[in-house]
């Protein structure tokens, strides 16, 4: 926070963050929130063109990135890609580079090493006073259905919704260990790795890499080692892991897990059943959550230990949500089996 203030950043300015899943990512997010600077995080796996487009759209003044990304034991460029786009994003005044791999990489003329950027800075920084409707962050949609849209979430309502939904839907209690496997570059990581859990004082676990490296039991090894109580992942990950059989799960002590969750897409009943039976030992409720970047938090979900669940169904609307289904003509669908969107 103090480093950004020394560079002249103030409440309402925008910064873009393009980092792998390393602690500095969460630290920089919270540093921005501390002083009212609006962060725009780009998923670490996106291309340099995606980064360029989001910088241009948001008029960011600062870019945080790393020398490289380390994934599955391999190195992938970060700042080398920034070198290729920096001439097209004149609003960027400085590029702050986190040393992740430590290997030799090219640099822009605007680069500052992150460790030098924070060196000697005070660990005291007064929080900026924010209005409830002041912007907290911008997050761009994936662009799968058209040009990515910048979604703005404001300060008070977003924090209230993510913290309340995290606590109530997952029945989170003080002392529990929360593990959401998402990337912070997506809304799931914003809401349920960083802001929601931390607002509840939770211990939130984040990891870098993929669930099948260095071995297919990485998730379960982490759960066993850290006595995880709440595990929240995507159906794609479950399907990728279940094809390796049950042994890589059952060889680990997962008795600490109390609640399981899924996010990101519908879960097919076969994957749901395997998750419930093998990972949860037929004892843990599964919270199948439906929501969007635009909503910031759950809108359809069971409540752990309270709602009857059905494999493949996100069950009931969350508190305060009234879902409406429309057909292609924009007319409300009121009868079963009529279709709709």
- What are the φ/ψ torsions at residue 124 (nearest 5 degrees)? -110, 130
30-50 residue pLDDT tens: 999 999 999 999 999 999 999
pTM of this prediction? 0.95
On the question of pLDDT at 165 being above 80, the answer is: yes
CB contact at 8 A, 22 and 98: yes
Cα 21-7-30 angle, rounded to 5 deg: 35
Residue 254: both structure tokens together: 């997962």
Domains of the chain by residue range = 2-129, 154-288
Section 207-229 average pLDDT: 96
On the question of pLDDT at 61 being above 70, the answer is: yes
> Residue 188 to residues 289, 294, 299: CA-CA distances in angstroms?
11, 11, 13
CATH 3.40.50.980: does it fit domain 154-288? yes
- pLDDT-based confidence at residue 341 (cuts at 50, 70, 90): low
On the question of pLDDT at 337 being above 70, the answer is: yes
Which residues have a Cβ under 8 Å from the Cβ of 320 and sit 6 or more positions away? none
Section 289-304 average pLDDT: 96
- pLDDT-based confidence at residue 56 (cuts at 50, 70, 90): very high
> Residue 58 to residues 52, 133, 145: CA-CA distances in angstroms?
10, 18, 20
DSSP one-letter code for 86 = G
d(CA 298, CA 287): 11
pLDDT of residue 340: 61
Size of the chain, expressed as the number of residues it contains: 341
Q: Could you give the 3-state DSSP secondary structure of residue 234?
A: coil
- Domain 2-129, what fold? Rossmann fold (3.40.50)
pLDDT of residue 40: 98
Same CATH topology for 2-129 and 154-288? yes
- Closest CA relative to residue 191, chosen from 160, 147, 224, 216: 160
- Closest CA relative to residue 295, chosen from 118, 116, 178, 139: 139
Between 62 and 325, residue with greater pLDDT: 62
Q: Could you give the 3-state DSSP secondary structure of residue 114?
A: helix
Beta bridge partners of residue 152, listed in sequence order: 138
pLDDT of residue 327: 86
Q: Residue 201's CB: how many other CB atoms inside 10 A?
A: 12
83-117 residue pLDDT tens: 999 999 999 999 999 999 999 999 999 999 999 99
- Closest CA relative to residue 288, chosen from 264, 324, 323: 264
pLDDT of residue 147: 80
Beta bridge partners of residue 79, listed in sequence order: none
d(CA 82, CA 337): 50
On the question of pLDDT at 338 being above 80, the answer is: no
- pLDDT-based confidence at residue 143 (cuts at 50, 70, 90): confident
Which residues have a Cβ under 8 Å from the Cβ of 113 and sit 6 or more positions away? 96, 97, 99
On the question of pLDDT at 189 being above 90, the answer is: yes
d(CA 60, CA 55): 5
- pLDDT-based confidence at residue 334 (cuts at 50, 70, 90): confident
d(CA 197, CA 176): 11
Is the N-terminal amide bond of 214 cis, ω within 30° of 0?
A: yes
């Amino acid at each position: 926070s103090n480093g950004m203030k020394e560079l002249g950043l103030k409440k309402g300015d925008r910064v873009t963050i393009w980092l792998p899943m390393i602690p500095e990512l969460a630290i920089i997010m919270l540093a921005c929130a501390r002083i009212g600077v609006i962060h725009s995080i780009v998923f670490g796996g996106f291309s340099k063109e995606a980064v360029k487009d989001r910088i241009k759209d948001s008029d960011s003044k600062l870019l945080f990135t790393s020398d490289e990304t380390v994934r599955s034991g391999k190195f992938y460029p970060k700042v080398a890609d920034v070198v290729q786009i920096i001439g097209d994003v004149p609003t960027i005044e400085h590029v702050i580079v986190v040393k992740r791999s430590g290997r030799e990489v090219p640099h822009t003329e605007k680069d500052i090493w992150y460790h030098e950027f924070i060196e000697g800075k005070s660990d005291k920084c007064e929080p900026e006073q924010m209005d409830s409707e002041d912007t907290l962050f911008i997050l761009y949609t994936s662009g799968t259905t058209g040009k990515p849209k910048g979604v703005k979430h404001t300060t008070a309502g977003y924090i209230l919704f993510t913290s309340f939904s995290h606590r109530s839907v997952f029945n989170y209690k003080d002392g529990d260990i929360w593990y959401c496997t998402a990337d912070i570059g997506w809304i799931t990581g914003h809401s349920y790795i960083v802001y929601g859990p931390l607002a509840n004082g939770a211990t939130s676990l984040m990891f870098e890499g993929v669930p099948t490296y260095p071995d297919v039991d990485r998730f379960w090894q982490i759960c066993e080692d850290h006595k995880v109580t709440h595990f929240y992942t995507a159906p794609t990950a479950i399907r990728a892991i279940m094809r390796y059989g049950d042994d890589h799960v059952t060889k680990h002590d997962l008795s600490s897990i109390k609640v399981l969750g899924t996010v990101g897409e519908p879960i097919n009943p076969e994957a749901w059943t395997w998750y419930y039976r093998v990972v949860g030992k037929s004892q843990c409720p599964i919270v199948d959550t439906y929501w969007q970047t635009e909503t910031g938090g759950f809108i359809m979900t069971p409540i752990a230990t309270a709602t009857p669940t059905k494999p493949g169904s996100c069950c009931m609307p969350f508190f305060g949500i009234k879902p409406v289904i429309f057909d292609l003509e924009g007319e409300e669908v009121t009868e079963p089996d009529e279709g709709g969107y």
